[in-house]
């Protein structure tokens, strides 16, 4: 591996560090929920999203100047965007609590947020192993582990949505929570998709 190649893999790890911080912060916000402080908490969350954007821009600039890359330029760009999407979606979840002026957090939301922490942790582990993808035996196992978290999120999504339907008392509140749970599910899917893209890149290059 060329000396300069390490930049790309370090960049991916840096991206997942922001998603890990954003996911953990989301749990903190929901466990210590105060809807009157949401605007301030959104500012903190946006810093994580902004940091992740900066990492993505660094990748774009490097790819624009590079003559040779460790794997296809298009694959590196794709992975960079996939990883950035995760942090974007974590911010979107908290934004929806603010937009819909949610006063009280439902228990399923906290459980969902904690599952996203697990997913982001696994995604970070995958990207730390990616640099050694031609020798590492851990990546496939980590991808499977992340898939299991996403499956747990699928089940949680179905249960939470059914509970909303069965216990609906206010139409606007029910619609708002449906949108929030859809954002949770989209984030879990984004984590899984990023991991599967890594798997595809590895297969393509080995």
**DSSP labels, 55-114:** HHHHHHHHHHH-S--SS-HHHHHHHHHHHHHHHHHHHHHHHHHHHTT--S--HHHHHHHH
CATH of domain 3-204: 1.20.58.220
- State residue 186's pLDDT score: 98
**Structure tokens, 155:** 């089940």
Q: Where are the beta strands (DSSP E) in the chain?
A: none
pLDDT of residue 136: 78
Domain layout of the chain by residue ranges: 3-204
Q: Which positions of the chain have pLDDT values less than 70?
A: 1-3
Closest by CA position to 97, among listed 51, 151, 16, 37: 37
pLDDT at 169: 85
Q: Two tokens at 14?
A: 């840096």
Q: Specify the pLDDT at position 202.
A: 87
Q: Structure pTM? A: 0.94
The CA angle 177-86-39, to the nearest 5 degrees, is 55
Residue 2's pLDDT is 44
Cα→Cα distances 194→31, 66, 161, Å: 27, 23, 25
Whats the size of the chain, residue-wise?
206
Residue 67's pLDDT is 86
Q: What is the pLDDT of residue 87?
A: 98
């Amino acid at each position: 591996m060329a000396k300069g190649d390490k930049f790309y893999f370090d960049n991916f790890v840096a991206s997942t560090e922001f998603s890990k911080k954003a996911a953990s912060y989301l749990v903190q916000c929901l466990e210590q929920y105060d809807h009157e402080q949401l605007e301030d908490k959104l500012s903190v969350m946006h810093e994580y999203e902004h940091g992740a954007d900066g990492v993505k821009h660094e990748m774009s600039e490097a790819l624009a100047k590079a003559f040779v890359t460790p794997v296809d330029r298009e694959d590196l760009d794709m992975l960079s965007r996939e990883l950035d999407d995760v942090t974007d979606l974590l911010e979107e979840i908290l934004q929806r609590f603010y937009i819909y002026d949610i006063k009280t957090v439902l228990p399923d939301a906290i459980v969902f947020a904690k599952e996203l922490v697990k997913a982001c942790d696994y995604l970070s582990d995958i990207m730390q192993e990616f640099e050694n993808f031609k020798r590492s035996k851990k990546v496939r196992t980590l991808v499977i582990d992340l898939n299991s978290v996403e499956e747990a999120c699928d089940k949680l999504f179905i249960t939470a949505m059914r509970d909303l339907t069965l216990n609906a008392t206010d139409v606007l509140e029910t619609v708002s929570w449906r949108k929030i749970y859809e954002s949770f599910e989209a984030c879990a899917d984004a984590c899984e998709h990023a991991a599967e893209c890594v798997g595809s890149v590895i297969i393509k290059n080995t």
